[in-house]
Chains A and B, each alone.
Chain A
């Protein structure tokens, strides 16, 4: 069974903390994505990567960075968390032009 896993289901952090969200896929997919999901706004793409050490900005990259050192792992980094980054974060992976497989999400609260 294909799988995308995320390091935490729920996370609570304080303003100004550095936050790491980890995503791992076991499908040998080339492409990986980070989205945030907010009520009334749907899913918005933060960053994506189509190869190891490659990254591309999505629609809302400000305040975020990413790292992809290995093919199966894609990390989202909040350098200095702020309250407006409280959200549900979803990771996904895909191979070429095919469906994206999603992880269960991490609900991040920044106090």
Chain B
């Protein structure tokens, strides 16, 4: 079956530090990969996505590259801000499977301190 594994949190960083949140996946077929973010008290919202190998998704200073050879989609940001404090979810979807289901990782909570 399909699965997503994220690094366990919580992660605490100082403002302007470099962020990496690791994500690896197992999938049958060729998945599309996503990072979703959940700010306190809110639902999830899409942060970035990549639909094929070597694609790079980017948004709000965050980046992730679809690495088929290592089955990974690590999230990075060069300089985090307090406003980036949130829970981050890696997810995959198998296009053409007919069900449009997302498989999520367990989430990584990030806290950024001034």
* Chain A residues with a Cβ under 8 A of chain B: 4, 31, 33, 40-43, 45, 48, 50, 56, 58, 90, 92, 94, 96-97, 99-105
Which B residues are CB-close (under 8 A) to A31?
A: 100
Question: Which parts of B56-88 form the interface with A (CB within 8 Å)?
Answer: none
- Contact: A90 with B43, CB < 8 Å? yes
Residues of B within 8 A of A90 (CB): 43-44
Contact, CB under 8 Å: A96 / B43: no
7 inter-chain pairs at a CB distance below 8 angstroms, sorted by A residue, are A31-B100, A96-B100, A97-B32, A101-B45, A102-B43, A102-B45, A104-B42
Q: Which residues of A contact B93 (CB under 8 A)?
A: 97
| Contact A42 to B89, CB < 8 A, known contacts A102-B44, A103-B43 | yes
**Which of B34, B44, B96, B102 has the most CB atoms of chain A within a 10 A radius of its CB?**
B44
Complex Cα gap A100–B32 (Å): 13
| B95 interfacial by beta-carbon distance below 8 Å | yes
Partner-A contacts on B (CB < 8 A): 32, 34, 36, 41-46, 49, 89, 93, 95-96, 99-102, 104-107
- Chain A residues contacting B106 (CB-CB under 8 Å) are 40-42
Neighbouring B residues of A105 by C-beta, 8 Å: 42-43
* Given A48-B99, A56-B99, A97-B95, residue A42 in contact with residue B42 (CB < 8 A): no
Min CB distance B52 to A, Å, is 13
In the complex, what's the smallest C-beta–C-beta distance from A93 to chain B, in angstroms?
A: 10
| A97 surroundings in chain B (CB, below 8 A) | 32, 93, 95-96, 100
- In the assembled complex, which residues on chain A have CB atoms less than 8 Å from the CB atom of B105? 42
Measured CB to CB, the closest approach of chain A to B81, in angstroms, equals 23
Q: Which of A41, A42, A56, A103 has the most CB of B within 10 A?
A: A42
Contacts of A50 in B (CB 8 A): 99-100
What residues of chain A lie closer than 8 Å to B100, measured between beta carbons?
A: 31, 48, 50, 94, 96-97
